[in-house]
């Protein structure tokens, strides 16, 4: 809605954002696939949890080559999800409860079935030809026409350029060939995007999550990317199409033309390897671009940098993980930006399986530990569906045919082709490693259907779901946990309430403690305006068997005065309101949050 004089310009800072992945959330129609009506029926549930903003991942008309991130019509809902009237009903249900509704904005690329691209590829003289990025390519020593450069697609191991037989040129697609990149240098493209955004804002959306928005500017002349993986024909395009200076020009224009006149909330997804100061610039109020961005640095704490981004490192260290989180939680506010506080989403595997222990004996406690960690970091908090009930990665014994995500399928295919071309046992053994990594890092881990109850298909659908339901749904589901005062769901609800009532958790300075420890993660949140200090102590010690271990922590040794400390919340045996004298002993996967 248009911005009113009485509107709080920063209502989003204290908000809890909940990401809904529509395909996997709730199906009202017994078709095995999530629907908008299914989401509508669950809006009261989200309100009960403590959600302020509902973010819908793409539900636009789409051929579904990449689960809706290939949009063929920005102003229609895909029939498998429902209708625009269904969307209106969700909007009204949210607004009636004082909640906001945010849409995904995917404008680095469209579907190749979008009318814009159909016209663009129809002929070189079509008025929309320059709405996408076309190139004649190069001729190699054999007289063959090859792509203009060595850029690798983000999915698979192939080129980011696709040859088009109709017009005898290549078009750029940084993702799938079914996702051609828009040419943001063309003013007509920007005008069309801004018009579409205004259409949604006038319809009542409260903002946008912007998919890979920092990819929209490409290096002039499309030079070859540096060779970072020797022996591979195609290389990551990196800074040649990520975080380029002109992205800021485009976002400033977007803010001026679209965002600033509305009381809306915009967060940009911004992959990249640059330092915090660059990412902070997107959210500095004076720059008038976005409210915040999603960076990806912390998502690499358990990954190995190889030719593809899903290589798992089982030997990751807590101290290195903390260094990443500490840097971003300290530096973004220091640079004048605002943090997006997320640890799970539709593109990342489940945090309990990554950071703690999903073993049955540790899972509930680990879920609460991860909750305390997440809710006490800086910035606006983003909760991903199922996180509140402690959903975990898919079982390791699932066959690879259970993986539905195109990234997993194409990456596995690309690695298999490359490694097997190297010959014999080496290739076969390496494929086993790739599969092991996918089972820990694949996007499918976050996309299993939401587990509502212990009935057929976890209450997600009366029909066979599009993706297999996790095997544990009989004991791990919403209905069971909402009735249990000691469940992860109940703990999440309580933690979100505590966060909203303690300014230090939202606005406070982040002060790391004991950064070299491989056992505890501890820090202070200090809010100078209220002089509120909060101590967070989390036991992330994996132990020799990966199932955790008891640890000790002495606050005095890191300069913390516990004289007036009172326990706000814990997943252990300590009582709320209690204090502590001297060294504290934390059982495996225990965490405590004290008000000092």
What residues act catalytically?
Answer: 211, 269
Could you say which DSSP state residue 151 is in? Answer: B
Host H or E run for residue 38: helix 36-41
CA proximity to 310, closest of 410, 404, 235, 210: 410
Beta-ladder partners of 526: 509, 533
Residue 146 to residue 159: CA distance in whole angstroms = 10
Token pair recorded at residue 251: 């976002």
For 19, counting Cβ atoms within 10 Å of its Cβ (0-12 exposed, 13-18 middle, 19+ buried), the class is: buried
Could you say which DSSP state residue 257 is in? Answer: I
Instruction: Give one DSSP letter per residue of 54-88, joined into a string.
Output: EEEPP-EE---TTTT-S-SEEEEE-TTT--HHHHH
Listed in sequence order, the residues at least 6 apart from 426 whose beta carbon sits closer than 8 Å to its beta carbon are: 419
Residue 324 phi, psi (nearest 5): -65, -50
Give the start-end residues of each E strand in 243-289.
Answer: 265-269
What CA dihedral angle connects 362, 368, 373 and 375, to 10 degrees? 160
Residue 208 to residue 200: CA distance in whole angstroms = 10
Beta-ladder partners of 312: 303
Helices (H) and strands (E) counted in the chain, each on its own, are 16, 24
Could you say which DSSP state residue 145 is in? Answer: E
Indicate left, alpha or beta for 559 from its phi (over 0: left) and psi (-120 to 50: alpha).
Answer: left
> 3-class SS at 432?
helix
Host H or E run for residue 329: helix 318-334
Residue 439 to residue 312: CA distance in whole angstroms = 9
CA proximity to 533, closest of 511, 513, 554: 511
Host H or E run for residue 526: strand 520-527
For the beta carbon of residue 410, count every other beta carbon within 10 angstroms.
18
Residue 160 to residue 241: CA distance in whole angstroms = 12
Residue 499 to residue 501: CA distance in whole angstroms = 5
Residue 415 to residue 434: CA distance in whole angstroms = 8
Residue 342 to residue 440: CA distance in whole angstroms = 19
CA proximity to 446, closest of 534, 539, 365, 382: 382
């Amino acid at each position: 809605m248009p911005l009113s004089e009485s509107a709080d310009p920063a209502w989003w800072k204290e908000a809890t954002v909940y990401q809904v992945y529509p395909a996997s959330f709730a199906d009202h129609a017994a078709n095995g696939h999530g629907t908008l009506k299914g989401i509508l029926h669950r809006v009261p549930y989200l309100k009960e949890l403590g959600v302020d903003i509902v973010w819908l991942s793409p539900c636009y008309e789409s051929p579904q080559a990449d689960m809706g991130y290939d949009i063929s019509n920005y102003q229609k809902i895909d029939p498998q999800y429902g209708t625009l009237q269904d969307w209106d009903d969700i909007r009204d249900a949210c607004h009636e409860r004082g909640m906001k509704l945010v849409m995904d904005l995917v404008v680095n690329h469209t579907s190749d079935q979008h009318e814009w691209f159909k016209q663009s590829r129809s002929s070189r003289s079509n008025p929309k030809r320059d709405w996408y990025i076309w190139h004649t390519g190069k001729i190699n020593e054999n007289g063959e026409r090859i792509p203009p450069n060595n850029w690798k697609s983000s999915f698979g191991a192939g080129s980011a350029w696709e040859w088009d037989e109709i017009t005898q040129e290549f078009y750029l697609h940084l993702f799938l060939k079914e996702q051609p990149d828009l040419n943001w240098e063309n003013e007509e493209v920007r005008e069309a995007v801004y018009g579409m955004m205004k259409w949604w804002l006038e319809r009542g959306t409260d903002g946008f999550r912007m998919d890979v928005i920092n990819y929209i500017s490409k290096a002039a002349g499309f030079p070859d990317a540096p060779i970072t993986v020797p022996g591979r024909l195609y290389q990551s395009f990196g800074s040649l199409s990520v975080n380029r200076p002109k992205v800021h020009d485009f976002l400033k224009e977007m803010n001026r033309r679209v965002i600033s006149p509305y009381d809306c909330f915009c967060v940009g997804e911004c992959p990249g390897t640059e330092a915090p100061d660059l990412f902070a610039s997107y959210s500095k109020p004076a720059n008038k671009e976005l409210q915040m961005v999603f960076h990806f640095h912390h998502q690499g704490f358990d990954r190995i940098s190889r030719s593809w981004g899903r290589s798992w490192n089982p030997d990751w260290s807590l101290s290195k993980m903390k260094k990443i989180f500490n840097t971003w939680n300290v530096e973004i506010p220091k640079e004048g930006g605002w943090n997006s506080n997320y640890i799970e989403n539709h593109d990342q595997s489940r945090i309990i399986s990554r950071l703690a222990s999903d073993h049955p004996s540790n899972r509930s406690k680990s879920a609460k530990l991860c909750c305390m960690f997440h809710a006490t970091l800086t910035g606006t908090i983003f909760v991903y569906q199922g996180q509140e009930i402690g959903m975990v990665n898919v079982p390791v014994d699932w066959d690879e045919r259970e993986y539905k995500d195109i990234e997993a399928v194409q990456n596995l295919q690309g690695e298999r082709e490359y490694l097997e071309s190297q010959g014999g046992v080496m290739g076969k053994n390496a494929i086993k490693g790739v599969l092991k990594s996918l089972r820990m890092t694949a996007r499918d881990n976050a996309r299993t259907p939401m587990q509502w109850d212990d009935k057929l298909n976890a209450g997600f659908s009366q029909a066979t779901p599009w993706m297999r339901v996790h095997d544990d749904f009989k004991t791990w589901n919403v209905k069971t946990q909402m009735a249990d005062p000691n469940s992860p769901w109940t703990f999440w609800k309580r933690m979100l309430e505590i966060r909203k009532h303690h300014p230090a958790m939202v606005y406070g300075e982040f002060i790391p403690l004991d950064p070299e420890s491989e056992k505890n993660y501890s820090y202070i949140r200090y809010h100078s305006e209220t002089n509120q200090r909060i101590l967070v102590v989390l036991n992330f010690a994996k132990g020799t068997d990966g199932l955790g271990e008891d640890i000790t922590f002495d606050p005095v040794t890191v300069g913390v005065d516990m004289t007036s400390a009172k326990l706000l919340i814990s997943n252990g045996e300590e009582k709320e309101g209690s204090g502590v004298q001297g060294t504290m002993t934390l059982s495996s996967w225990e965490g405590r949050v004290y008000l000092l």
